[in-house]
Structure formats: C-alpha cells, structure tokens
Amino acid sequence: MINPSPARGWLFFAVGLAAAYAAGMGLVYAVSGVLTYVHLVPILLATVVSATTMSWGASGFSPLTKGFLGLTLGGLLGYALGLVIDLLVQGLVDWAAPTASLFSLLIGFTAFFLGVAGLNAVSKGLIWQIIGTLTGAILVSLIRAAMGLEWSGTFLFTEPAWVTGAFLGVLFFLGGNGSVSDWFKWARGIDTPEHHEDAPGWQKYLSVSLDHKVIGIQYTVTALFLIGVGGLFALIFRAELAASQLQFLTNDVRLFGQTGPQLYNTFMSLHGMIMIISILLGIAGMINYAVPFLLGAQDMAFPRLNAFSFWIAVPASVLMLMSLILGGFDTGWTGYPPLSARAPVGMQMFFLGVFTAGWSSILGALNTIATVLRMRAKGMTAFRMPIFVWAAVATSIIALTATQLIGLSFQLVMFQRLLGMGFFDPAKGGNPVLFQHLFWFYSHPAVYVFILPGLGIISELIPVFARKPLFGYRWIAMSSLAIALVGFLVWAHHMFTSGMNEYLRVPFMYSTLLVAVPTGVKFFSWVATLWKGKIWTPTPMLFVLGGLVVFLLGGLSGPPNATVSTDLHLHDTYFIVGHFHDTIFGGFVFPFFAAIYYWFPKATGRRMSETLGKLHFWLMTPAFFVLTFGMMRIGLLGMRRRIADYDPALNFDFTHLILTVAGFLIALSVMIFIYNFFHSIKNGEKAEGNIWGSRSPEWQVPSPLPAHNYDQPFEVVGEPYDYGLPGAKYIEFVKPAKSGRK
Amino acid sequence: MPHTQDKSSAFAQGLLIFVYLAALTALEYFIAVTFKGVPILALVAVVKAALVMYYYMHIYKLNEDGGSDHHSYAYKTVTNRIGLWLFLLSDAFVFGGLMTARINLLGLTHPHLNQTLGLAVTAVLLISSFFMNRGETAMAHGDKKGFFVNTLITFFLGLGFLLGVVAVEWPLAAAEGLTPDSGVAGAVFYMMTGMHAFHVFTGLIFLLVVLNNARKGVYSAERHWGVEAAAVYWHFVDLVWIFFYPALYLIGKAL
C-alpha cells in the first residue's frame, strides 16, 4: 500500500471523496447555517479533491496529479479572487455571484494545464485569454466611466465590456500560445522552416504541432472532453425530467445568477451547442488524422492553418463555458430573436463562442479541400481515392460556405443587442423570420456536415470487415456530393410553423424528401456490400453495424417531419428530439467510436481492449434504442421539447424515468470507453501490423506512422476496395531515389 | 485578350479594363437617376464583377498545375492560390448574407444618402484597383520601383476610401438622422458599410505588410506570391463594393 497502485488509488479516492464532501458540508453550514448534503459546494469540492487523491494514490506525484492539484487550488484561488473583486466593486459578498465562479473556472483550468506540463500551448493560451478578457473588459469599462456611463453591471462588467473582452481574449489566446507566430514572422519577411520538430512523447499534444496526426488527436481528445461536458449537462436536465414537478432545479436554487428552471434552460441550450461543437471537432479530428495519409500526403496543404484551426476552437470552448456562468441563456441552441435579444450576457458569450468555433470549421474545411485537390499520391485519380475522402470533401464544401451564415446571423443579433440595430426588431422595421432563414441556411446543412464523415467511415470500414469490394463506389462518392448540394436547398423545413410565406412550404417539403434518394443509395450499397460477405465483427465493425441500424431509424423518422401536414403536429415535440438523436448517433457517434477503435492501433501501436469495447457497445446500443424510442413515443403523444416540467396528468412520468435511466447507462458506457481509451495507450495489447487486414495504404506500413507518414512514397496501381479478388493491388511503394528530397 | 504578355501591353490591358469599369459605373449611375431598372443594374454589376475577376484577379490561373514537384515554389503557389480563392468564396457568403438581409428588410428602397459622396468613394476604390493591378504587373515583370510606387498609391486611395466612408459618410448620415439604432435602414447601412470597411482595413494592413517585405527584398519576378495574394484580396474588396454600391445607393426609392 506504500507504492502507487490502482488499489491505493481507489483507497485515496474514497478517503478524498469523503473528507472533501464533509469539509464542503461544513463550509456550507458555517456560512449559511444550513446542514444539507445536496449542495454544489461539497459536490464540486469532492469531485476535484477525489480526482486529485485518486491520481496521487494510483500514480504518485505524476503530471496528472499535479494537474488535478492545480485545478483544485486554482479553482479555490480563483473563487477567492472573484469574491474579493466583487467585494471591492459591488461592496457586498455574494457566495453565488457569477464573478467568483468565472474566475474559479478560468484559473482552475489554467492551473490544471500548468500543473500537467508547466508552460505549454494550452496553459500559455489560457493565461493570455484571461489577460485579454480582462484587458478588453477593463478598457471598455474605463471608457464608459470616462463618458459618464454605467461601467459595472450584474456580472461585474457591462455587456459591451464583456463582449470586447471575450473577443480580445480569443485573439490574445492565439497570439500568446504561439499558433500564429510563424505568420507574424512571414509578415515581417522572416522565413521559417517548413516543419518544426515536435516535443517528444505526450507533451507534443500540449504544444503547437504542425503534424496532421498530432492535430487530429488533439481535435479528437478535445471533442471527447466536450462530449463529456455536454453529456454531463444532459444528465443534469435528464435527472430533472425523471419525474413531473421540479425536484432539484427548483425556484429556490440560485447559481450563476440563475434560478433552477433558468439553469435547466441554460443546460438544455448548452447541451445542444456544446455537442455540436464537439461533433465539429470530432469530424475535424477524423478528417485531419486520416485524410492526408489516405491520400499518401506528408501533411495537410496548409499545416499552420491546420494548427490555427484547432487552437481557435479551444478559446471558443472556454467562451461556451463562460456563457453558462455569465447568466446563461434560455433560447435553446438556436438563439432565435426576439428572446435572444433579451437574454443575459451569457447569450453574447454563446454567440461569440459559436462564431469562433465556426472559424475553426471554415478554415479546416478550406484546408481539407485544398489537400484533396493538391496533395494526392501519384496515380490517385478522383475515383481511386478512399471513399472517406469523398465524404470529407462533401462535408467541407458545406462547412466552408454555409458556416458564414450562422456566424452572420449571430453577429447581427450581437449588434442588435450592443448598438440597438433593429435587424430583427419589428418595432424598428426588422424581421425576426429573416434570422431563421439565415440561421437555418447553415444549421440544416450542418447536420450533413455532422453525418457525412460518419457515413464515409461506414462505407470505408464495411468492405474491410465484410471482405468484399465496396458495392457501387462511384454511386457512394456521388451520393455524398448530392446530399451536400441538395442540403443547401432544404433549410426552410425547420420553419413550417414559423409564419414564413406559406407558398414556400411545399417546395421545401419536396426538396427535403429528395435527400432520401442519395441517402438510400448509400444504404443499398452498404447492404449489397454486406450481402454474402465474410462478416467479421471486432469492435469497430460492431459500431459500424450499430451506426447503420441507428441511422436507418433516424432516416425513417425523418419524412414525417419533412412532410408539412404531419410536421405541423410534430413540430417542437420530443419526436423531433428522438429523430435528431437517431440521425446524429447513427451518423456521427457510432462511426466516430468505430473510427477510434479502428485507427487507435495506427496512432499508438497498441489496440484498445476488445472486451471493454464490446461491453461499451452492448451497453450503449440497447440503452440508446430505449432512449430514442421512448422520446418518439411521448413526442407523438404530445410531450413538448425544451421544457423543464410537464403535467403529471399526461402520464409520462414512467417513460421519462426510463429515459433518464437509459441516459445514465449511455453515460456509463462512454465512461468505459474513456477508461479503455486512456488505459490502452500504455497498457493495450501490442498491434503494430495490419491487424484488420485492410488494403488501405496506412496499414501497409508499421504502426505508429512516422512524422511525415511514409518513408517512401507510393503509387496507386489498382482499385481501393478489391477485397477477396486474388492478385488485386491498390498501391505500390516507390523505391526512394538516392538523392531525392524527402 | 491573351493572358501572357509583355509589360507594356499588360499595363495597357489594365488601363482598358479600368476604362470599361468606369464607363459601366457611370452607366449604373445614369440608370439610377433615370429609369431605375433593377434587372439592368444587376446585369451591369455582374458584368463589372466578371471583368474584375478575370482581368484583375486572374481567376483563370486556378487552372495551372504548377508542375509535378510538390515542394517547388510554383507548385505551392498554385496550392496557395486555391486556398485563397476558397477563402474568398467563403467570405462571399458573408456578403451574400448581408445582401439577403438588405433585400429582405429594405426591398425597393434605399437609405437617404449623399449620392455625390457615394459616387466619389466608389470612384476612389475603383481607381485603387487600377493601381493595384499596375503594382502587381510591375512586380511580375521584376520592376520593383514600379511596384512600390503603384502599391503606395493604392494604399493611399484605399485609405481615402476608408476615411471617406467611416469619417465622412457616417457622420454625415448620422447628422441627417440615419444612426445604427434609428431603424432598419440605418442598421443595414452601417452593417454593410461597416463589414466592408473592416475588409478594406485588413486589406490596407495586408498592403503595408507586402510593401514592407518588398522593401526588404523578399519578392522577385518569379517568387511574389505575397504580392499576388494582397492584390487578389484587394480586388475582392473592390468586387464586393461593385454589388454594395448599387444596393445601398442606387436601387429603388430613397427613404
């Protein structure tokens, strides 16, 4: 029990948990005189302290332990600092004031990364983001004070100050962490080497790397973190929904300047947008990691832009979390005015966060298209590219162009709030429906951004695990493009009940139904590929098959929403929620997990545990079916979406309870996955060869890949998916020329 | 007109295109003060945009392949060019969205603005594009002094446009009651000109960077991607104004 060991870790975890919980309860009692065991202070304190002690017990004074210690101390320090500032500015101490929580979050996060690896790209960036936010906010506050305006508000600073600060914070993050330093050198006429040496070991993942594989993993891990945050929010409001009436997000709750029901709204809204950002980062992870080596390229076309696209997503995520603390917002993820024109400051942080994350998506898409156009290996013609690359291109076309429109629509609301510009204010001649058009012009095609890479993964992996050629390669490639292009013409099907011109309904209904055609092409191809194949089901294939079935359910529950007559009944019910989760789990979550299980050995040289992987699958899939079927059932019976409470007379209590249990089971399965992921990096079974028997070029060389992917270039000499055909070859490595440049 | 040419005919071509563009702008103004034909105004704007994209922005260069050596400057320049055009395509959607908002909110009316000033700043921006073209052509032929002089003129004309909009036009409009919060016309006007002015501002910074690097001798006739990028970006800003000018000043009745 002296040396660090898992057993010692669990023991320390239990001790830390109990001690911190008791200390937290004592603290609450000392301050408020109420003895309660359901309180955020002991819960949060116990979480961070038990994580610290567990890590200490299991691994000694390791970087992770230092990180958790930093999180705990930084969080407490930030909280104290916030209280002092509040006392100085407002003249009173408010324990639940947002200022203290905000400083606690920002300083805690920063201290975590400082503890893990000292000054690195993340901790430097976060420090600079804090400095930038304060600089901007204080500057605007000073100007306001000099102009004789109110300079401080409920959330310490006024709204214009927060917006300026948040914007400067993002710029400072990027300037401070080194992701733009090469560009600044270029601007001053200084040349930089084409590639930089990465730090050795895991530390390169915390630095600005230009290697697309490192960036892909950075994206993926960030996406997993955000899935955790968004999932946590879902669990919180799912727990509230388990029974009718308000149980713990009650009106007496006061946190981050919000009451319980307001918190419900914020969690519900942020669950949506944080998950969307995590999906965007997840697909960027898959595309960044896989596309260059699938093409035989050394890297993406613009490695610095690639690093920039990732790093800009980090301050964006911080802004999303800030929106929770700065009063939250209650509009749902769509942020429709006029409600969003009135919501607290958190709304602005949400707008800025989405705007910033949008740039990550746009620039990543630009890079992907340029890479596919310019960086293919010799002989890799358009129809000999791996099919995932087609999906990546289709998704990038949407992300490159349409994303600007959500950025613009949110910007217009921002300016309406800041300067009184009346775009969506009918009193000034504005038109709220215009917002919905601009918003959905991105936000509908966005779901194709989410699912196309996932469908590409399904198409990519089915031939590997069915040992048969992919059926109808060209049709699948073209169907991805067709979904992307038709996707631009369907946005107003979200607005059948919004009061837009009625003559627009029918054309948008038909264009929406048209999406079923290319999607159907994909399904027929998958089924035809599986037919009479030698199907083999290790974990990646399980997730592919699961994704296929779940996406089919999502697809079949779509047309009732697209058809005007039925949508008028279904609009804003849980049926939509069930349909949407089916499409996103089938089109993104399942294939994303499949891709991680499939390429994990390529990245680490070890494979993830099959047992835990199968447990993950067989826990998540049934729970998920229960969840969405239940959602659709109560939706058909009239359960409205986005509400914190429902009438007990509707008799939904039991179904909601089941849904909550299913939600927690999914969370449990994802925790198993995350354990498996991090545990297998060091302890997984060695797997350096072509363990899946794939024909894809990256599996023809040992894992993990070196910094520039292939020591010798290859030439494409055959078709990519000729599994089971004797003598068929896809690529041939070219002998390196003796004095050739690498 | 051929694409590859000697220096003097390249300059002559730039001048000719400038004359076309100026004549078409005058035509737009004439249409606006006489019979206000919106479809014809739109057609003229499209023709102007096509001229700028072909002769000033050299869109046909996207067809080049840059040889087979992926590490050569020529190959990378073609890749960079594709990247830049993809960025412009993306950026065009912002302006397209603003245009959609303008059409939806204002329809066949436009804010009450100073027409003379509008025509003047438009002319200044158009002339700046002409000098930008001369600057880029000079660099492509190795004439660094010509590049420097012409790009400097471009910079000052661009600065003139920016100040003309932000420091003259905005206060004038505000003085007549058109403020950002006065109503939807003010909101659209300030948002469209503001977004465009922001792009002009970034373009000016880009020009300063290129001028500074040219002073240090970074560019040559064969290697001047930075100059080309700055020029194409500058012409793109002009291209946006080709649509924004009639949309804000010419279409429909003044409010």
Q: Tokens for A37, please give them.
A: 């065991």
Q: Measured between CB atoms, does B72 come within 8 Å of chain A?
A: no
Q: Is B79's CB within 8 Å of A437's CB?
A: no
The residue ranges of chain A whose pLDDT is under 50 are 739-742
pLDDT the model gives residue B1: 44
For chain B, the domain total comes to 1
Please return the burial class of B31, using the count of CB atoms within 10 Å of its CB with bins 0-12, 13-18 and 19+: middle
CA distances from A620 to A323, A490, A508, A593, A623 (A): 30, 32, 35, 11, 5
Q: Which residue has the tokens 């914070």?
A: A169
Q: For residue B210, is it within any domain?
A: yes
Angle between helix axes A432-466 and A590-604 (nearest 10 degrees) is 60
Give the residue among A278, A481, A472 at the shortest CA–CA distance from A369. Answer: A481
Of B79, B97, B184, the CB nearest to A404: B97
Q: For residue B152, is it within any domain?
A: yes
* CA–CA distance, A704 with A686 (Å, rounded to integer): 11
Beta strand pairing status for B253-254 and B109-110? parallel
Shortest CA gap B22–chain A (Å): 31
Q: For residue B61, is it within any domain?
A: yes
Mean pLDDT within B84-109:
95
CB of A309 closer than 8 Å to CB of A363? yes
Q: Is A409's CB within 8 Å of B97's CB?
A: yes
Of A301, A419, A438, the CB nearest to B180: A419
Q: For residue B93, is it within any domain?
A: yes
Q: For residue B119, is it within any domain?
A: yes
CB of A212 closer than 8 Å to CB of A294? no
The amino acid sitting at A196 is: H
Q: Which residue has the tokens 């990732």?
A: A310
Q: Is A407's CB within 8 Å of B94's CB?
A: yes
Of A366, A405, A407, the CB nearest to B86: A366
* CA–CA distance, A333 with B175 (Å, rounded to integer): 39
What's the 3-state SS for A229-282?
A: HHHHHHHHHHHHHCCCCCCCCCCCCEECCEEHHHHHHHHHHHHHHHHHHHHHHH
pLDDT the model gives residue A43: 87
φ, ψ dihedrals at A705, nearest 5°: -70, 145
In the predicted structure, residue B217 carries a pLDDT above the cut 70: yes
Task: Name the helix (H) or strand (E) containing B12.
Answer: helix B7-33
Q: Measured between CB atoms, does B209 come within 8 Å of chain A?
A: yes
φ, ψ dihedrals at A197, nearest 5°: -75, 135
Cβ count within 10 A of residue B166: 16
* CA–CA distance, A225 with A674 (Å, rounded to integer): 10
Q: In terms of CA atoms, which chain A residue is nearest residue B86?
A: A366
Of A370, A402, A420, the CB nearest to B83: A370
Contacts of residue A73, defined as CB under 8 A and 6 or more positions apart, other chains included, come to: A111
* CA–CA distance, B219 with A109 (Å, rounded to integer): 44
Domain with B19 in it: 7-254
Say whether B110 sits in a helix, a strand or coil.
strand
* CA–CA distance, B196 with B244 (Å, rounded to integer): 9
Of B78, B87, B101, the CB nearest to A434: B101
Mean pLDDT within B144-165:
96
Beta strand pairing status for A731-733 and B109-110? unpaired
Q: What is the ipTM of this complex?
A: 0.94
The amino acid sitting at A212 is: H
Whether the full predicted model's pTM is greater than 0.90, yes or no, is yes
CB of A433 closer than 8 Å to CB of A469? no
Q: Is B90's CB within 8 Å of A366's CB?
A: yes
Q: Is the peptide bond before A704 cis (omega within 30 degrees of 0)?
A: yes
Task: Name the helix (H) or strand (E) containing A686.
Answer: strand A685-686
Shortest CA gap A363–chain B (Å): 8
* CA–CA distance, A205 with A201 (Å, rounded to integer): 8
Touching B: A residues 398-427, CB under 8 Å: 400-405, 407-409, 412, 415-416, 419-423
Say whether A563 sits in a helix, a strand or coil.
coil
Q: Measured between CB atoms, does B93 come within 8 Å of chain A?
A: yes
Q: Measured between CB atoms, does A514 come within 8 Å of chain B?
A: no
| Residue-wise burial string across B181-191, b where 16 or more C-beta atoms lie within 10 A, e elsewhere | ebbbbbbbbbb
Contacts of residue B215, defined as CB under 8 A and 6 or more positions apart, other chains included, come to: B148
Q: For residue B163, is it within any domain?
A: yes
What helix, strand, coil percent values describe chain B, rounded to 5?
80, 0, 20
Which chain A residues are within 8 Å of B186, Cβ to Cβ? 421
pLDDT the model gives residue A41: 81
pLDDT the model gives residue A737: 52
* CA–CA distance, B189 with A711 (Å, rounded to integer): 57
Cβ count within 10 A of residue B67: 11
Give the residue among A284, A318, A281, A272 at the shortest CA–CA distance from A170. Answer: A318
Shortest CA gap A735–chain B (Å): 17
Which chain B residues are within 8 Å of A369, Cβ to Cβ? 82, 86
Of A423, A438, A741, the CB nearest to B184: A423
Contacts of residue A278, defined as CB under 8 A and 6 or more positions apart, other chains included, come to: A222, A223, A224, A225, A226, A227, A229, A230
Measured torsion, CA atoms of residues A191, A195, A201, A204, in degrees rounded to the nearest 10: 60
pLDDT the model gives residue A741: 42
CB of A652 closer than 8 Å to CB of A244? yes
Q: Tokens for B237, please give them.
A: 């800003």
In total, chain B counts a number of residues equal to 255
Cβ count within 10 A of residue A527: 12
CATH superfamily of A201-686: Cytochrome c oxidase-like, subunit I domain (1.20.210.10)
Terminal alpha carbon distance of chain B: 43
Which of A180, A183, A409, A421 has the most B C-beta neighbours within 10 Å, making it the best mutation to test the interface with B? Answer: A421
The confidence band for B4, taking pLDDT boundaries of 50, 70 and 90, is low
Q: For residue B1, is it within any domain?
A: no
CB of A529 closer than 8 Å to CB of A463? yes
Terminal alpha carbon distance of chain A: 52
Touching B: A residues 282-341, CB under 8 Å: 301-302, 305
* CA–CA distance, B8 with B141 (Å, rounded to integer): 10
CB of A522 closer than 8 Å to CB of A476? yes
Q: For residue B2, is it within any domain?
A: no
B38-67 tens-digit pLDDT: 899 999 999 999 999 999 999 999 999 888
Q: Measured between CB atoms, does B65 come within 8 Å of chain A?
A: no
DSSP B159-192: HHHHHIIIIIIHHHHHHTT--TTS-HHHHHHHHH
Lowest mean pLDDT segment, chosen from A615-619, B7-11, B21-25 = B7-11
* CA–CA distance, A576 with A164 (Å, rounded to integer): 37
Angle between helix axes A159-177 and A346-374 (nearest 10 degrees) is 30
* CA–CA distance, A216 with A200 (Å, rounded to integer): 17
Ramachandran area for residue A607 (φ above 0: left; ψ -120 to 50: alpha; else beta): beta
Give the single-character DSSP code of A158. Answer: -
φ, ψ dihedrals at A94, nearest 5°: -120, 115
